[in-house]
Every structure is written in C-alpha cells, then in structure tokens.
Amino acid sequence: MHFTPKSVMVTGGAGFIGSNFINCFMPLNPGCRVINLDALTYAGNLENLRSVDHNPDYRFIKGDICDAALVAKLLADEKVDAVVHFAAESHVDRSISGPEIFVKTNVLGTQVLLEESRKHWQSGAVADFRYLQISTDEVYGSLGETGYFTEETPLAPNSPYSASKTGADLLVRAYHETYGMPTLNTRCSNNYGPFHFPEKLIPLLISNIINRKALPVYGDGLNVRDWLHVRDHAIAVETVLKGGKSGGVYNIGGNNEWKNIDIVHLVCDLMDESLGRKKGESRGLIAFVKDRPGHDRRYAIDAAKLKRDLGWEPSYTFESGIRETIDWYLANQEWVAHVTSGEYQQYYETQYGESK
C-alpha cells in the first residue's frame, strides 16, 4: 500500500544521515511537514540543515528522545503520521569505551518513541501512521570470506553499539507483534558522503590527509565493509517509508565491498591528485595500530528484497561518490573545523537563541 506522509517526525535529523535525509526529502515532498527532534550531542550539527532552515514546513526542536512528555506533545501538536527514527549514539569505538549512553539512547530512547507512537497511533489522531526504525547491518554480527546478510540472518551483534541497535530492533518487532503497530525496520551498511563526522573512517582519512596527520588502520586492515552513498540511503528510507509492508525489515546496501586498507589507499591517491601532492605522499601517513576489540571481520548486504519489492537500487557509483565526497570536504573545511572544535554548537545559539 502506498503511503503519503503529511507530517514526519525525524529524530536525529542534525546528524550525518538524518540531515542528508531531510535535505533530500523536503524538496521531493513539498508541503509535507518535517519536525526534526535532535538533542544536539557532539554529533548533531544544525549547519548541516542550511538548505531547509527557512522552509516554513520545517521545524527544529532541541530535545531528547527519552523525554516522553516532549515526544507525546510533538506527535499530537504536529499531527505526526510518520516517525523516522535516526537518533542514536553511532560510533563503535565510543561504545567500547562507554557503553552506558548507547543503551540509554539507542534502547531506552527507542522504547520511549515506540510507546508514545503507539499511544498516538491508537488515539486515532491521524488516519494512517508509520514508525520507521533506522538500523544497521551490524546487528547481524560478522561474516567470513563469503556470504551475505539477508533479512533472515540471525541477529548476533558483537559490539555494545550493535547490541544496543539490536535491542532497539527487537523492541520494534515486539511492538508490531504485540500491538499490531505499523512498523518498518531498515538495516543499512556503512554510509559515506557529506556531513559525516570525522571520527568515522572515510572523513577521518580525508581530514587527516589534509592536515598531514597519521592515518590509523586497525589491525591488519583487511576487515571488509560495504559502502553506500548517504543520499542513496536517504532515498531508500523514503522508498521504504512510502511503500514498505507493515512489520517489514529491509536491508539496504551498496553492493560495494572494500577492504579497509584498499579504501585507505584509494583515498590517499585521490587526495594526492586533488591536493597536487606527489603521488604516494599520503600513503606515507598510514599507521597500523592496535586492533579494535571484537572487530567484526566482514559485512556484506544482500539488498535483493528492497530491489524486488520496492524497486530501489543505489544510483551512485563508488568512484563518483568518493570523488564528490572528497571535493565536498575540501570545499567545506570550515565545517570540519567547526565540528572538530565544537564551535558548531554556537550556530544553534545564533539561530535559535539559548532558551528554545
């Protein structure tokens, strides 16, 4: 059944994927309200949303998804008919050094959103309603040299991050099974593209190469990830929101597997070209470092269901996507400086004032 949302609450819309989603979704869906609920943690940056800031259909609310009263009020006041839940603690390394906030935001926060969504949906305040949980392929654990994750692959998370995302996915399943709530669940591979916080591999490489800093490669560098351009992910999410089957789980992937060390070499070589540096210069910055504990060896996604049922496939080639991403970072070094120094948080104050 095709669903046309009229008022979407996006959580975590100031983060990497959430902001790209809003920037893509709003021009494609004129007249649809978008309410962005984001706590503006270190990873949330309103500078990512300049293209929609002054759109009368866009509203930003600084707030925590764990705040049930706030979530309930927004759902009711804005007659929300779709929740697209991106908000999360998202970095595996941070989850290893401090897992607690991951459980709080990713598990308990999801439960609050589900519960308030259930009440709102059951109240009959809106004719139709959908709740979409954004998840990750990391819930499936790790693959050997062959094979792919399908939607039927058993959940076997290995890091505190992926365990918290799995907990959230299981709650989503339970709300569908128990209350019949119209839920959707997407599980995506590694994203890359503009507005990616430079603690994650690709933006970290770009930023460190610009500054001639060491490029840390964990372990032997042979771990494999599937990389998808963030705007392809955004379109996939919109596709699932509008056409997905209630209770459905959809894998999203780029069919684009790379060993970490090959990505590092590629980014080094492209950056040498872009920066006019001697060929091979940036590779000299590579530093093999101690492996991440519990480091998943390989992720690979089978996204055939999404193609078969809803016709989605990625539009970016990796070659064009990675070049475009490098160009974006080179043209937006001020953004990188702001997010790494924390200065971006002042943008909120100037745009919205301290009290909002």
For strands 224-229 and 257-259, give the pairing.
Answer: antiparallel
Q: How far apart are CA 14 and CA 53, in angstroms?
A: 11
For the chain, state the CA radius of gyration: 20
* DSSP classification of residue 149: B
- Answer yes or no: 131 catalytic: no
Q: Binder to ligand TYD among 39, 80, 92, 209 (CB under 6 A)?
A: 92
16 near ligand NAD (CB under 6 A): yes
Nearest C-alpha neighbor of 135 from the set 121, 148, 151:
151
Binds 217, which of ligand NAD, ligand TYD, none (CB < 5 to 8 A, cut-off by type)?
ligand TYD
**CA dist list (Å): 7 to 29, 68, 87, 219, 291:** 11, 19, 18, 46, 44
Nearer to ligand TYD, 126 or 286 (CB): 286
Q: How far apart are CA 105 and CA 12, in angstroms?
A: 11
Q: How far apart are CA 76 and CA 219, in angstroms?
A: 49
Q: Binder to ligand NAD among 9, 24, 26, 40 (CB under 6 A)?
A: 40
Q: Give me the 219-258 binding string for ligand TYD, x by CB under 6 A, dash otherwise.
A: ----x-x---------------------------------
Cβ atoms within 10 A of the Cβ of 13, count? 31
Beta-carbon contacts of 224 under 8 Å, excluding residues fewer than 6 positions away, are 257, 258, 259, 260, 297, 298, 299, 300
Tell me the closest approach of the beta carbon of residue 4 to ligand NAD, in angstroms.
Answer: 24
12 near ligand NAD (CB under 6 A): yes
For strands 190-192 and 224-229, give the pairing.
Answer: parallel
The residue range among 40-48, 148-156, 199-207, 325-333 that interacts with ligand TYD, by the rule CB under 6 A, is 199-207
Scanning the structure block, which residue is given the tokens 């070094």? Answer: 333
Beta-carbon contacts of 4 under 8 Å, excluding residues fewer than 6 positions away, are 242
103 near ligand NAD (CB under 6 A): no
Scanning the structure block, which residue is given the tokens 């890359």? Answer: 192
286 near ligand TYD (CB under 6 A): no
Among 58, 131, 161, 348, the active-site one is: 161
Nearest C-alpha neighbor of 106 from the set 155, 169, 61, 41:
169
Tell me the closest approach of the beta carbon of residue 247 to ligand TYD, in angstroms.
Answer: 27
- Answer yes or no: 138 catalytic: yes
- Answer yes or no: 128 catalytic: no
Q: Binder to ligand NAD among 5, 7, 9, 18 (CB under 6 A)?
A: 18
39 near ligand NAD (CB under 6 A): yes
Q: Binder to ligand NAD among 190, 207, 208, 239 (CB under 6 A)?
A: 190
List of residues contacting ligand TYD (CB under 6 A): 92, 190, 200-201, 204, 216-218, 223, 225, 260, 292
Q: Which residues are marked as active site?
A: 137-138, 161
List of residues contacting ligand NAD (CB under 6 A): 11-12, 14-18, 38-41, 43-44, 64-66, 86-88, 90, 105, 109, 134, 136, 165, 188, 190-191, 197
